[in-house]
Amino acid sequence: FISEGKARADRLAASAWTVPVPDVSTEARLSHEFSHQSARMLRRQFGLTWDTARSIVHMCPDCQCLTPIPQTGVNPRGEKALQIWQTDVTHIAEFGKQKDVHVSWFNLSRQLSTTQP
């Protein structure tokens, strides 16, 4: 008698708890809103394309202040406007432990600067 009542209660509760499952990109967006995963993590977890995962992260207003847009090719350096430097790191094995040489080029005056860390 008790097992029949439990089975009936389980059937009634199961129908009440059924929730429609959203599509994958909606599920990924909701997951990102809750835990703010990176685009790489969204891609792995939900099997999204790179473009879809990146668009979810870029559309999030909370993540906009955390992830700056990367600048490619030119590193801003200097204290005044239009002081744009190009920077490269060269590895020279003969220098031993300090084998990294930082080479910076100031575009306006064509000044070349090299430093070792």
Relative orientation angle of helices 24-35 and 50-59, to the nearest 10 degrees: 40
Phi, psi (5° rounding) for residue 68? -70, 155
pTM recorded for the entire structure: 0.41
Kindly state the percentage of the chain with pLDDT values over 70: 69
Cα distance between residue 49 and residue 67, in whole Å? 20
**C-alpha closest to that of 22 among 33, 10, 11, 38:** 33
Q: Which residue has the higher pLDDT, 33 or 67?
A: 33
Q: What is the pLDDT of residues 32-56, one digit of tens each?
A: 988 888 899 899 999 999 999 999 9
Domains of the chain (ranges; CATH) run: 2-64 (1.10.10.200), 75-115 (no CATH)
Judged against a pLDDT cut of 60, whether residue 75 lies above it is answered with no
Q: How far is residue 25 from each of residues 22, 38, 41, measured CA to CA in Å?
A: 8, 14, 13
Judged against a pLDDT cut of 90, whether residue 83 lies above it is answered with no
How far is it between the farthest Cα atoms of the chain? 92
Cα distance between residue 106 and residue 110, in whole Å? 5
